[in-house]
Structure 1
Amino acid sequence: MSFDRLPSLEAQPTTTRRQDDPQYRDDPEFSHLTETLSTRLFELTSNISRLSQQISLLGTKRDTERVRERVHDLLEETKEGFKEVGEGVKKIQGWEDLNASQKYTVQKLSREFGAAGQEFQVIQRRALEKDRASKAALEETTSPSAEGRPSSQQDQQQQLQTQSPRLAPQGEVDFQESLIIERESEIRNIEQGVSELNELFRDVATIVREQGDVIDAIDLNVENVRNDTRGADTELTQASRYQKRARNKACCLLVIMAIVLVVIVLAVVLG
């Protein structure tokens, strides 16, 4: 699948940027890189779903060389994809002069990368277990029998007479042995992939834990602002009601005073 390689992104010139120029105020390079990483993470998550489906076929009647080829290709493709995204996540984690929104984006991508990485590690272990089980089953079918060699001349003659029909089973044994070698190669490749990614996942997870307080503080501030806004809206609504009631009371008082004044004036005039 097509993807802008991260090395090419990192090679883009940044020294000519002028931080005081309004057009760079939002840091388009940071935005482009984070959007690319987010898209790539979505693709890797899709790969993990496809891997899960294919690995579930291993060891069943639907286990074919084509299925194993797809599993191998997806494992390699996904492993390389995680390496690329991991390097990109580490790069944005070390980005200078991040504002609050950018810090939130970094934390979000880091956590999504860590979650996807854990899911991929589970898939790798499943594939490893399937290959080991397959290898063990093949080894059992190719193990030598416990029967002893024929001792009598008659048995030796019978062995010679049946030597030609046994050529086919021997060819099958050779085929089984080649499959065992293939399984061993698959096991080594998966183990190597697990080892290569473990350190990368640990590095990203360490930075996420170290910066966790920052995102928690941002979330807390956002929640506080939301609560304050709701409180202010409630207070304004109550104030509006109080003000309306005060106006109604003032109008009633004015009407009463006007009536009293009219009565007094009429009493003076008539008196």
Structure 2
Amino acid sequence: MADSIGPKDDERARHREAMNGSEDSGGSLTKLDAIPETKLMQQLSLVDQTETYLASRADTMRSIEHTIVELGEIFQQLATMVHEQDESIRRIDTNVEDAATSIEAGHSELVRYLRSVSSNRWLMVKVFGVLLIFFIIFVVFFV
């Protein structure tokens, strides 16, 4: 360590000594050193999974937001179409009311005509009866 020039070199030298010391003791990490490393790997894996899950959730939220915006646009277009059709619907409603009134008036006229025809039939029966009586009288007395 006496050869080191600066603090970084000191750190490197200590690191080399630690590595040489671990190699001298069998060339493998001890069980105590492996446990923190395993925990670290598990924590890193958990962090990666959490980040993946959060990214997936963010993508899903963006997708839902996009869908909601599209639905809003569709409903806006629908509202515009309904507003444009309002005058046509009012005209149709007025025409239906006029047609219903005309149908009622036509029904009344047909009923009145039926009564008129029925009364005319009785009048024709009466006239025919009178003519028949005159014919019988004429045949009996003048022939």
What is the TM-score normalised by the length of structure 1? 0.31
In 2: Cα distance, 1:231 partner to 1:268 partner: 55
SS at match of 2:104: helix
Q: Which amino acid aligns with 2:130?
A: M
- From 101, 104, 118, give the equivalent of 1:245: 118
Higher relative contact order (CA 8 A, sep 6+): 1
Report the counterpart of residue 100 of structure 2 in structure 1.
227
**Larger Rg: 1 or 2?**
2
- From 14, 23, 45, give the equivalent of 1:171: 45
Render the CA deviation track for 1:107-154: whole Å, top value 9, x for unaligned.
xxxxxxxxxxxxxxxxxxxxxxxxxxxxxxxxxxxxxxxxxxxxxxxx
1:256 aligns with 2:110: no
Render the CA deviation track for 1:190-223: whole Å, top value 9, x for unaligned.
32443465356436524633652x1232221331
Distance 1:196 1:259, change over 3 A: closer
Unaligned runs of 5+ in 2: 1-30
More helix by share: 2
- From 66, 89, 101, give the equivalent of 1:216: 89
Render the CA deviation track for 1:17-50: whole Å, top value 9, x for unaligned.
xxxxxxxxxxxxxxxxxxxxxxxxxxxxxxxxxx
In 2: Cα distance, 1:181 partner to 1:242 partner: 85
Render the CA deviation track for 1:146-171: whole Å, top value 9, x for unaligned.
xxxxxxxxxxx868526426735642
Report the counterpart of residue 185 of structure 1 in structure 2.
59
How far is 1:257 from its partner? 0.9
What is the TM-score normalised by the length of structure 2? 0.51
In 2: Cα distance, 1:196 partner to 1:259 partner: 88
Distance 1:209 1:159, change over 3 A: farther
Q: Which amino acid aligns with 1:245?
A: S
SS at match of 2:125: helix
SS at match of 1:164: helix
Query: 1:1-271 to 2 correspondence within 5 Å?
Result: 161=35, 163-164=37-38, 167-168=41-42, 170-195=44-69, 198=72, 201-202=75-76, 205-206=79-80, 208-209=82-83, 211-212=85-86, 214-228=87-101, 230-231=103-104, 233-235=106-108, 237-239=110-112, 241-262=114-135, 264-265=137-138, 269=142
How far is 1:183 from its partner? 1.2
Q: How many percent of aligned residue pairs carry the same amino acid?
A: 16
Q: Which amino acid aligns with 2:61?
A: I
SS at match of 2:38: coil
Distance 1:159 1:191, change over 3 A: farther
In 1: Cα distance, 2:67 partner to 2:88 partner: 31
The number of equivalent residue pairs is 113
SS at match of 1:198: helix
In 2: Cα distance, 1:172 partner to 1:244 partner: 98
Give the CA RMSD over aligned residues: 3.9
